[in-house]
Amino acid sequence: MVFSWRGGPGAPRLLVSLLLLAVWEPGSGQVRYSVPEEAKHGTLVGRIAQDLGLELTELVPRQFRVASKGRRHLLEVNLQNGILFVNSRIDREELCGRSAECSIHLEVIVDRPLQVFHVEVEVKDINDNPPVFREGEQKVLISESAPLDSHFPLEGAFDADIGVNSLLTYTLGLNEYFTLKIITKNDKSILPELVLRKSLDREETPELNILLTSQDGGKPELTGSVQIKINILDVNDNAPEFGKPGYKVALFENVPNGTRVIQLNASDLDEGVNREISYGIRLILPVSEKCTFTINPETGEIRMYGKLDFEENNEYEIQVNAVDKGIPSMAGHCTVLVEILDLNDNTPEVMITSLALPVREDAQVGTVIALISVSDRDSGANGQVTCSLTPQVPFKLVSTFKNYYSLVLDSALDRESVANYALVVTARDGGSPSLSATASVSVEVADVNDNAPAFAQPEYTVFVKENNPPGCHIFTVSARDADAQENALVSYSLVERRVGERALSSYVSVHAESGKVYALQPLDHEELELLQFQVSARDAGVPPLGSNVTLQVFVLDENDNAPALLPLPLPLPLPGARGGGGALSEPVSRAVGAGHVVAKVRAVDADSGYNAWLSYELQPAAGGARSPFRVALYTGEISTTRALDEADAPRQRLLVLVKDHGEPALTATATVLLSLVESGQAPRPSSRVLAGGAGAGAGAGAALVDVNVYLIVAICAVSSLLVLTLLLSTALRCSAPPSEGACGPGKPTLVCSSAVGSWSYSQQRRQRVCSGEGPPKADLMAFSPSLPQSEVCLNTSSEVSHSYHLNICFLS
């Protein structure tokens, strides 16, 4: 008891006197205190003199004393200050065992006048007892032929504390054969069982040692452990089996000593000594000093000896083994649950009628769900029944008439939070001790379409390599609908839109049920780098609800385009020019110095990044001869490495390898033919014309006329060929689709001609790639391969090569 008062010096005494007069008669009354067990010596329990209204100065004259039934030494009163304190160690388990309530009753006596006060000190439980196993090691016999998912009961731990301090949990040491299963009994206690998860092999593992740890629910937590020693037995084909794994027997608490509890019978399909069975009790829970149970090892009959006490234990669990006499022996197990009945011999009955199930989650508060009636065949207080509901939210019981109740909705429902309520209606009579009965009501909440499908995130980023096969799966969208049945049945569809001049559905599709997104055609990074679209998820409710998610599909580049050499104009053949094949045959002096740029090889790659980064390499000449030319690694310019001399061959054939940086790398090859002439060996055409007009006379004039005719014929032929090429190109462009016009996106096109060896390359990606670079220099002067009629463009293994030949002459 705690008193608090503010006032003058006499106020506390006046308040205590008034309370004593109002609560109890003079010379009688009761004060309650509480103290935790194991409290230290001198711990304050209460100011007993003050709480009883006694002055400290009158404690000794009035012979203040405390009387207790055999427990006076636990608590003492300091007569100087009137404080009740702990005198010696208080052990709640020693005082009251496992009783839910534990109190020390004191009588306070004072004389002149004689007064007796009753003081009750409640001893609170603390978590001072760890879980304890009956034995330090438990032995379990298991046959190696035991099937998977076999159960093997273990002896649980015992905790002397009560309440949450005695709630035990179990953990099993790490192993590959067994898992732990917890069986909850009627009294809410738990029993561990081993469950076989991997087949046993006695020859491989004859014995297993596993640590079983028990932990209580107190603060701080206490633990106990036991070593489980599992002996793997060799195959004795069949173990004894009981008719069922568990039996339940009810006994009144006043049955006489030696009463037969049950007759067990186990059978073994084996023959001979392997089917002879011996019965034994493995474990009895809880352990009682007042009664015990024994079993006849030959007949399996269980009898009770001693006295049953309902108030001590209202049920016993007997774990029975039936062991055959085979070598090795095998054992069967069963559990006998003995329920002790109180002498109040009729329990209340509960009847539930007119169930209005299921209940819609949008039902109004006050909706009647069920009608409940209770009855008890007893009379008087034993027949007076009260009804209660567990849990009470969101339902309640409303009494409509004597022993009649209505189960009604007390607050709003939400099926997505709780879809089913397991209600327990308890009817309890007024007997001493009272009896009760329960009935379970399962209230199912019907779904209403109040939740739209929801994606885990509003946007997803997908990376897909180009050149994917048509119909390949690139992503899966998934939306979750918290509703149920058709309200949670989600279907997926594309939010249609235009991608350029084409519909989105021509690129991708989504499976309506699985949400899998498929690419309907190969994607080309050079045509489309990013495809952004939305997928809609809609449920099947009425009305349907939906939501959208955005997908950003990035098309990743692959090295699928080899370097392409840019086309070069054909030079005009001149009369008297040396070097065949349409190459420019204007003489070139060998007096070119080192570092002079003689040609430039140009190429582009339709890919991007490293796949489009080109490098140029000059291939070694045949026979290992060292070439006087080199090519720039990244520009493709061909230049001399030294001054040319007489030792250099008059015709130089150079192979330039153009390679990208993809994986694997793709290449193209350019063949460049160079004609070298002596300085002054061939005069310039203009000089030759002038010289012929001055010294040759009429014959020279005729020759000059012939040369002019040749030039005119050549120019006309080339012009005609150019006009024909332009007309043909215009016709092809007009007949091509608009999306692949002159400046539109399209795939690179390579056209090879076996007749003259020429080729054309068109590379356009977002912007047209042009090959011209200002006024012509000495770059790539001629292009005239002489290829056989059967030559074609080839793709071999991972490399794609394109070849052309260039005849280049140097002028003095």
The mean-pLDDT minimum among 461-470, 586-595, 632-641, 712-721 falls in: 586-595
**For 731-789, what is each residue's pLDDT tens digit?**
776 654 443 332 333 333 333 333 223 333 333 333 323 223 333 333 333 333 333 33
Please report the pLDDT score of residue 70 as a whole number. 62
The tokens for 493 are: 């569809």
558 vs 612: CA distance, rounded Å: 10
20 vs 14: CA distance, rounded Å: 10
Please report the pLDDT score of residue 311 as a whole number. 67
Task: Find the angle CA(395)-CA(376)-CA(345) to the nearest 5 degrees.
Answer: 120
Residue matched to tokens 């001609």: 753
259 vs 306: CA distance, rounded Å: 10
Whether the Cβ atoms of residue 517 and residue 476 lie closer than 8 Å to each other: yes
The pLDDT mean for the chain works out to 77
pLDDT at 222 exceeding the cut of 80: yes
User: How much of the chain exceeds pLDDT 70, in percent?
Assistant: 78
Find the mean pLDDT for residues 335-354: 83
**Backbone dihedral angles phi then psi of residue 775, each to the nearest 5 degrees:** -65, 145
Please report the pLDDT score of residue 704 as a whole number. 40
461 vs 237: CA distance, rounded Å: 60
pLDDT at 137 exceeding the cut of 80: yes
**Backbone dihedral angles phi then psi of residue 189, each to the nearest 5 degrees:** -80, 165
Which residues make beta-bridge pairs with 479?
455
DSSP readout, 721-783? HHHHHHHHHHHHHHHS-GGGSSSS----EEEE-TTT--EEEE-EESEEPP---SS--SS----
| Closest to 104 (Cα-Cα) out of 152, 146, 48 | 48
pLDDT at 566 exceeding the cut of 90: no
Whether the Cβ atoms of residue 745 and residue 768 lie closer than 8 Å to each other: no
The tokens for 155 are: 């002896």
Whether the Cβ atoms of residue 749 and residue 763 lie closer than 8 Å to each other: no
Whether the Cβ atoms of residue 103 and residue 121 lie closer than 8 Å to each other: yes
Which residues make beta-bridge pairs with 182?
192
pLDDT at 205 exceeding the cut of 80: yes
The tokens for 345 are: 């011999």
The tokens for 42 are: 């001198």
**For 652-692, what is each residue's pLDDT tens digit?**
888 999 999 988 999 999 888 878 777 655 444 433 322 23
Number of H helices, E strands in the chain: 5, 57
**Backbone dihedral angles phi then psi of residue 75, each to the nearest 5 degrees:** -125, 145
Helical (H) or strand (E) element with 695: helix 685-695
Whether the Cβ atoms of residue 714 and residue 572 lie closer than 8 Å to each other: yes
pLDDT at 564 exceeding the cut of 50: yes
The mean-pLDDT minimum among 116-130, 161-175, 376-390 falls in: 376-390
Find the mean pLDDT for residues 102-121: 85
Helical (H) or strand (E) element with 228: strand 223-233
**For 442-483, what is each residue's pLDDT tens digit?**
888 888 988 999 999 999 999 999 999 999 999 999 999 988
The tokens for 79 are: 């007569």
**Backbone dihedral angles phi then psi of residue 634, each to the nearest 5 degrees:** -115, -10
End-to-end CA distance of the chain: 125
* 627 DSSP assignment: P
- How does strand 30-36 pair with strand 115-124? parallel
Chain centroid to Cα 601, Å, comes to: 56
646 vs 133: CA distance, rounded Å: 107
Chain centroid to Cα 276, Å, comes to: 53
Helical (H) or strand (E) element with 16: helix 11-23
Find the mean pLDDT for residues 504-521: 94
**For 291-305, what is each residue's pLDDT tens digit?**
889 999 999 999 999
